Structure 1
C-alpha cells in the first residue's frame, strides 16, 4: 500500500441518529412540561411588533429600506429574512 493513495484508505462512517434523538429528547425534557411553543411564538411576535412600533417618519423609511433590502424581516407571518 502506498501512503497517501485514496484507494488504500479504510472507510470510516459513524451514524449519529441515535445521539441526535437523545439530544433532542434532553432538550424537550429541559424545557419542562409547562413549555408552550405557541405562546412563545406569540410573545416573540408581540415583542417584534412593539420593537418597531411608534417609529417617526425617518425611522419608518429606514425600517422600510432595511426590509426591502432583506436585512430585516417584514411584518406578518413568515417574517424570516431572505438571507
Structure 2
C-alpha cells in the first residue's frame, strides 16, 4: 500500500509591523497620565525615594547593597540615580 509522500508541513514566513500600534499605545499612555503629569518632578521624587530607601544602612547592609549593585541586581549610582550615602 503506497500512501505517497504524505502531508508536508510547510512553514510560511510572515511579518507584522507593530510600529503604528506601538505609537498608538504610547499616545494612549501619555493621554492617560493627564495634563498634570510632570516627568521631571516624578524623576526627582523617585531619586529622593531611592536615596531615602538606602540611607542609614549599617555596615553589613551597606556590604550587601554593594554586592547587589556589583551583581547588577540594583542599579549603580551615577547620573540619574540619587546617592545612597
Which structure has the larger Rg over C-alpha atoms? 2
Q: Distance in 2 between matches of 1:68 and 1:61?
A: 11
Query: Residue 55 of structure 1: which of 34, 54, 57 is its match?
Result: 57
**Moved runs in structure 1, 4+ residues, more than 4 A?**
none
- Residue deviations 1:30-78 (CA, integer Å, cap 9, x gap): 0111111111111111000000000111111221222222222222325
RMSD value, Cα: 2.0
Which ranges in structure 1 are unaligned for 5 or more consecutive residues? none
Residue correspondences, number: 75
Higher relative contact order (CA 8 A, sep 6+): 2
Gaps of 5+ in 2: 1-6
SS in 1 for 2:64: helix
The separation in 2 between residues aligned to 1:3 and 1:36, in whole angstroms, is: 57
Secondary structure of 1:34's aligned partner: coil
Name the structure where helix makes up a greater proportion of residues.
Answer: 1
SS at match of 1:20: helix
TM-score, normalised via structure 2 length: 0.71
Q: What does residue 3 of structure 2 align with?
A: none
User: How many angstroms apart in 2 are the aligned matches of 1:55 and 1:3?
Assistant: 64
